[in-house]
Amino acid sequence: MVIDEFLLEAKGASVVEYDISDFIFLEDDIVRYYYQIVTGKVKLNNYTDTGKEILQSIIDEGHSIGEYLLFLNDIGSPVNAVAVTRCKILKLSKASFLELLREQPNLGLDINRNISEHIHFRHIINNSSTQCAAQKLKTLLDFLKIKHNKTEPYSFLVPLTRQEMANFTGLCVETTIKTLKKMEREKLVRIVNRKIYY
């Protein structure tokens, strides 16, 4: 968890509920709140002119959403924040959030860690743009596996749909499926009941 939930509530945060596919904020919105997920999952994305989704990140329980925007003044969000599942999200005004950080500077470290994680991920994914399909997928899977502290072969159940993997890597679903099957033949992944183990 990035910031203790009781602490946020004591500072005036309220819990807001979102349904699947609800937008928490939209591209170009100026974000005025600190958002932290209590339950559920959220994604950051963009949509191309042809309607294709570009996934920027999937954010799990306990993590904050686009918090870095609060350190930039009057900058529109470059991404949409969309509820992937039903969500309960703590929402604290920017002013209270900044005040909280001044009162408890050590919290800055936790915020920093969260932001750094996202930058690191984006760099890794961006850097894979020169690679072939199999490498792109492997890069994505490697990152997720390490993040979940898994090391043994096939010990990591990939928590993404093929569609999501495609939207992360910029590949189309069909190529993603075909490539994953090739990787299965090469013993890089194991597929059981459509679940992918890496």
Counting beta carbons within 10 angstroms of the beta carbon of residue 35, is it exposed (0 to 12), middle (13 to 18) or buried (19 or more)? buried
Beta bridge partners of 34: 92
8 Å CB contact between 93 and 12: yes
Give the count of residues interacting with DNA (CB under 7 A). Answer: 22
**Which long-range contacts (C-beta less than 8 Å, at least 24 apart) are formed by 186-195?**
188/138, 189/141, 189/154, 189/158, 190/154, 195/157, 195/158
- Does 98 bind DNA (CB under 7 A)? Our answer is no
- Does 58 bind DNA (CB under 7 A)? Our answer is no
Q: State the minimum distance, in angstroms, from the CB of residue 198 to DNA.
A: 15
- Does 130 bind DNA (CB under 7 A)? Our answer is no
What does the alpha-carbon distance between residue 149 and residue 145 come to, in Å, rounded to a whole number? Answer: 6
Give 152 or 186: the residue with its C-beta nearer to DNA.
Answer: 186
- Does 7 bind DNA (CB under 7 A)? Our answer is no
Q: State the minimum distance, in angstroms, from the CB of residue 129 to DNA.
A: 11
- Does 44 bind DNA (CB under 7 A)? Our answer is no
Name the residues that contact DNA, by CB under 7 A.
Answer: 50, 52, 132-134, 161-163, 170-175, 177-181, 191, 193-194
